[in-house]
């Protein structure tokens, strides 16, 4: 328990340090004082970022010691490691380019991922037999590192689009950019709504049929979508508005679908309130912050992030994954949903590099590909993990 307390405290400290560092990075952009004073703000911001990363490393090591295995075996552990990988990628890129503004965008994305992770069960659990292998460490950590580096390409690509797309003229590009920013609010909405109902200890139980078995599922958000053919057994609780469609597969499909609905509602409310306060699109508010940033430099960082992250992801997501699948399940490939989307991700980034190198897709086209690519990664992490049933559902 002492190790778990240290681990939880270290993760919380890392989150707070990243938050404070973000404000200091913001000061370097908006500060009109001398470059020397701006440099002091940047040094403080980077020091806090490194301290936050070290705190998260303490979380990782102490949780490993407490559990006896690498803490990457469930959604909470994997997502926190992904956030740490993204911060590590940012630190490496910053050490080369010395671009303070990148921290103002990279750290909030890492914090959203860590906050999203904290909404999943954090308890330690013994590994299922198929995970009791050293390939757990090799495969999963390599995948997370690759995705963390590719996450930087998303951050920089998003910055490029915010800077370059004209916010004064109505266009498809402006609408799609705002939609991407809205999706970030949906993730924030998930964190807010889940935290709120966890604080009041909300719980509702449903019975539902799975084949010939009668099972029970626990809802921790009011049931807008109940289980398919489910019955509410908790008294004095809101009845569901409708049943989850039968084509949603896997145990607790109704609860997961219900969480998606609540995330969309909460994210939309937060987004609309933010728009009402600012009286501008989110992209139009952020755009002035990037006024002095060179678009060509953003384009270069985005490409280098993909060029490094793609082979790392290839190792972890395809090669190491296939080796472990052969050891654990007796086949290299089985068209499991998780495997299919890993392959889709690989093909997409391979197409990115092909279009960039042979067709000359630079600038805005390349930035859109970087944003879409990370969207595919998040779809794999969220929808495929939580909605589609498969051999990876234990995560």
From residue 166, how far is each of 106, 174, 178 by CA, in Å?
A: 23, 7, 12
pLDDT in tens, the chain (395 residues): 688 888 888 988 998 999 899 888 888 775 544 444 457 888 899 999 999 999 999 999 998 888 777 788 788 888 899 999 999 999 999 888 888 888 888 898 888 888 888 777 777 777 666 666 777 778 888 988 999 999 999 999 999 999 999 888 888 989 999 999 998 898 888 888 888 888 888 888 888 776 677 778 888 888 888 887 788 888 878 888 888 877 766 556 777 788 888 889 999 999 999 999 998 899 888 888 888 888 888 999 999 999 999 999 999 888 888 887 777 667 777 777 778 888 899 999 999 999 988 887 888 899 999 999 989 988 888 777 666 555 455 45
Task: State residue 187 phi and psi, 5-degree precision.
Answer: -60, -40
Instruction: Give every CB contact of residue 356 below 8 A, 6+ residues apart in sequence.
Output: 303, 306, 362, 366
The answer to whether the CB of 313 falls within 8 A of the CB of 146 is: yes
Q: Which helix (H) or strand (E) holds 81?
A: helix 75-97
Instruction: Give every CB contact of residue 189 below 8 A, 6+ residues apart in sequence.
Output: 262, 263, 264, 265, 266, 267, 268, 269, 270
The answer to whether the CB of 305 falls within 8 A of the CB of 356 is: no
d(CA 57, CA 190): 26
């Amino acid at each position: 328990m002492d190790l778990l307390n240290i681990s939880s405290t270290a993760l919380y400290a890392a989150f707070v340090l990243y938050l404070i560092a973000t404000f200091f990075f913001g000061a370097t952009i908006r500060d009109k004082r001398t470059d020397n004073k701006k440099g002091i703000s940047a040094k403080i911001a980077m020091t806090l970022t490194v301290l936050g990363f070290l705190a998260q490393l303490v979380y990782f090591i102490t949780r490993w010691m407490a559990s006896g295995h690498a803490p990457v075996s469930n959604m909470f552990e994997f997502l926190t490691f992904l956030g740490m990988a993204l911060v590590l990628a940012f630190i490496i890129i910053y050490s080369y380019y010395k671009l303070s503004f990148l921290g103002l965008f990279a750290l909030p994305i890492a914090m959203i991922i860590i906050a999203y992770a904290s909404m999943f069960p954090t308890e330690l659990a013994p590994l299922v037999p198929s995970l009791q292998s050293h390939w757990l460490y090799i495969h999963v950590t390599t995948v997370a590192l690759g995705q963390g580096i590719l996450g930087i390409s998303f951050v920089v690509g998003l910055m490029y689009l915010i800077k370059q797309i004209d916010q004064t003229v109505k266009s498809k590009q402006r609408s799609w950019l705002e939609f991407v920013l809205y999706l970030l609010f949906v993730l924030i909405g998930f964190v807010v709504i889940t935290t709120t109902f966890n604080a009041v200890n909300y719980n509702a139980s449903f019975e539902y049929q799975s084949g010939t078995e009668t099972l029970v599922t626990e809802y921790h958000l009011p049931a807008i979508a109940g289980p398919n053919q489910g019955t509410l057994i908790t008294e004095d609780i809101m009845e569901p508005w409708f049943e989850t469609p039968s084509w949603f597969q896997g145990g607790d499909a109704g609860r997961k679908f219900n969480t998606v609905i609540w995330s969309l509602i909460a994210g939309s409310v937060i987004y609309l309130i933010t728009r009402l306060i600012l009286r501008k699109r989110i992209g139009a508010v952020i755009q002035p912050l990037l006024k002095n940033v060179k678009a060509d430099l953003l384009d270069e960082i985005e490409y280098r992030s993909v060029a490094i992250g793609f082979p790392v992801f290839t190792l972890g997501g395809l090669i190491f994954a296939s080796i472990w699948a052969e050891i654990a399940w007796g086949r290299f490939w089985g068209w499991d949903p998780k495997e299919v989307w890993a392959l889709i991700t690989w093909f997409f980034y391979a197409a990115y590099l092909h279009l960039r190198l042979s067709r000359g897709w630079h600038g805005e086209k390349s930035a859109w590909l970087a944003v879409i690519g990370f969207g595919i990664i998040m779809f794999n992490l969220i929808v495929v993990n939580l909605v589609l049933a498969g051999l990876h559902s234990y995560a």
